[in-house]
Amino acid sequence: MINRIKLEHILEYARQQRHIGQHCKIPPGDMVEIMEIAMRKAGNSPVTPDGWISCSERMPNDKQYVWCWGKSYGWTECDTFEGYYDCSRNKWWAVTDNGEEPASKVTHWMPLPEPPQEVK
């Protein structure tokens, strides 16, 4: 049986190492991926039944386009939008028709769906 608490501590350490650039025997990015896979196998996934993932539990890969719940520049209320998290700048970005703009208060995200398949 996998000890989930120990896995969470190791994962948090690996995430910190990835962001501050320290070295370890296993590259931190690989360690994060390994630990996330192990934690998913251990159960109790941070994914809610509707597919949203809490940012406090797990962040998307660096600059991976995802569906976000939060605020974009100038918004007064939270809403959904396409965006990504930039690890090097420690910041969320919203994708708009005119490019990108800073996003804030992003609390949840989910992978974008696959595009529809063309029927032949």
Four-residue CA torsion sign, 9, 15, 18, 22: negative
Q: What is the DSSP letter of 67?
A: E
19 and 69 housed in the same domain: no
60 and 99 housed in the same domain: yes
The pLDDT, as a whole number, for residue 1 is 44
59 and 104 housed in the same domain: yes
Task: Answer yes or no: is pLDDT of 6 > 50.
Answer: yes
57 and 107 housed in the same domain: yes
Distance between CA 111 and CA 65 in Å, rounded? 8
Domains contained in the chain, number:
2
Q: What is the mean pLDDT of residues 59-76?
A: 90
Q: What is the mean pLDDT of residues 38-44?
A: 56
Using pLDDT thresholds of 50, 70 and 90, give the confidence band for residue 78. confident
pLDDT in tens, 45-63: 455 556 899 999 999 999 9
pLDDT in tens, 83-100: 999 999 999 999 988 899
37 and 57 housed in the same domain: no
Cβ-contact 100, 77 below 8 angstroms = no
Task: Answer yes or no: is pLDDT of 16 > 70.
Answer: no
Q: Give kind and range of the element (H or E) at residue 112.
A: none
Helix (H, G, I), strand (E, B) or coil at 55: coil
Domain residue limits at 92: 53-111
Using pLDDT thresholds of 50, 70 and 90, give the confidence band for residue 28. low
